[in-house]
Amino acid sequence: MAEKAAGKAFDWNIFLRLYKYSKPYRGGFILTLILVLVLAGITVVRPEQMRQMLDVAVPGGDVNVMFQVAMAFLGVLVFETVVQYVQTLVANSVAQKVTLDMREKLFAQVIRYKLSYFDKTPVGQLVTRHISDIDGIAEVFSVGLLDIIRDVLKLVVIVGYMFFLDWKMTLIVMIPIPILLWATRVFQQAVKKSFQDVRNEVARMNVFVQEHVTGMNIVQFFNRQSSEEKKFVEINAEQRKAHIRGIWAYSVFFPVVEILSAMSISLMLWWGVHSGLEMETTPGLILEFSMFVSMMYRPIRQMADNFNVLQMGVVNAERVFKLMDEDHSEHSGGEVVLQEVKGEIAFSHVHFQYVENHPVLRDFNLHIEAGKRAAIVGSTGSGKSTIISLLNRFYEVNQGKITIDGVCVNEIEKDHLRKMIGVVLQDVFLFSDSIRNNLKLYDESISDEQMIEAAKMVGAHQFIMALPGGYDFDVKERGTLLSTGQRQLLAFVRVFLQNPKIVILDEATSSVDTESELLIQQATELLTKNRTSIVIAHRLSTIQSSDIIFVLEQGEVLEQGSHAELMANSGHYSKLVELQYKKS
User: Is 239 within 8 Å of 198 (Cβ atoms)?
Assistant: yes
What does the pLDDT read at residue 515? 64
User: Chain-centre distance of CA 576, in angstroms?
Assistant: 46
Range picked from 67-81, 121-135, 204-218, 360-374 for highest mean pLDDT = 360-374
From the number of C-beta atoms within 10 Å of its C-beta (0-12, 13-18, 19+), residue 250 rates as middle
Strand-pair partners of 346: 367, 403
Domains and CATH numbers, the chain: 12-325 (1.20.1560.10), 345-583 (3.40.50.300)
Q: For 250-285, what is each residue's pLDDT tens digit?
A: 777 778 877 887 888 788 777 776 665 455 567 777
Q: For 360-411, what is each residue's pLDDT tens digit?
A: 888 889 999 988 899 888 877 778 888 888 888 888 888 999 999 888 988 8
Range picked from 117-121, 333-337, 345-349 for highest mean pLDDT = 345-349
Strand-pair partners of 377: 551
DSSP 3-state assignment of 1? Answer: coil
Residues of the chain above pLDDT 90, percent: 3
Q: How confident is the model at residue 555 (pLDDT cuts 50, 70, 90)?
A: confident
User: Is 393 within 8 Å of 334 (Cβ atoms)?
Assistant: no
> For 481-505, what is the mean pLDDT?
86
Q: For 412-468, what is each residue's pLDDT tens digit?
A: 888 888 888 888 887 788 888 888 988 888 888 889 898 898 888 888 888 889 989
Q: How confident is the model at residue 491 (pLDDT cuts 50, 70, 90)?
A: confident
Output the CA–CA distances (angstroms, integers) from residue 554 to 161, 226, 333, 464, 543, in the order listed: 83, 39, 30, 41, 21
Output 191-195 pairs: Cβ under 8 A, ≥24 positions apart: 191/246, 191/249, 191/250, 191/304, 191/305, 191/308, 192/308, 192/311, 192/312, 193/245, 194/242, 194/243, 194/245, 194/246, 194/249, 195/246, 195/308, 195/311, 195/312
What does the pLDDT read at residue 401? 92
Closest alpha carbon to 384 in 508, 536, 532, 511: 536
What does the pLDDT read at residue 213? 73
What does the pLDDT read at residue 280? 59
Residues contacting 80, CB < 8 A, separation 6+? 39, 42, 46
Strand-pair partners of 421: 502
| Cα distance between residue 542 and residue 506, in whole Å | 12
| The model scores a pTM over 0.75 | no
Q: How confident is the model at residue 38 (pLDDT cuts 50, 70, 90)?
A: confident
| Cα distance between residue 319 and residue 139, in whole Å | 15
Angle at 556 between CA 552 and CA 558, to 5 degrees: 55
What does the pLDDT read at residue 32? 85
Q: How confident is the model at residue 348 (pLDDT cuts 50, 70, 90)?
A: very high
To the nearest 10 degrees (0 to 180), the angle between helices 283-325 and 63-110 is 10
62-71, 315-324, 403-412: segment of lowest average pLDDT? 62-71
Q: How confident is the model at residue 6 (pLDDT cuts 50, 70, 90)?
A: very low
User: Chain-centre distance of CA 362, in angstroms?
Assistant: 38
User: Residue length, the chain?
Assistant: 584
What does the pLDDT read at residue 529? 83
Q: For 192-245, what is each residue's pLDDT tens digit?
A: 777 777 777 777 787 787 777 777 767 776 677 787 788 888 888 888 888 787
Strand-pair partners of 364: 350
Q: How confident is the model at residue 136 (pLDDT cuts 50, 70, 90)?
A: confident
Q: How confident is the model at residue 1 (pLDDT cuts 50, 70, 90)?
A: very low
User: Is 478 within 8 Å of 421 (Cβ atoms)?
Assistant: no
pLDDT at 7 over 80: no
Residues contacting 492, CB < 8 A, separation 6+? 424, 458, 460, 508, 520, 523, 524, 527
Helical H runs in 215-332? 216-221, 225-277, 283-325
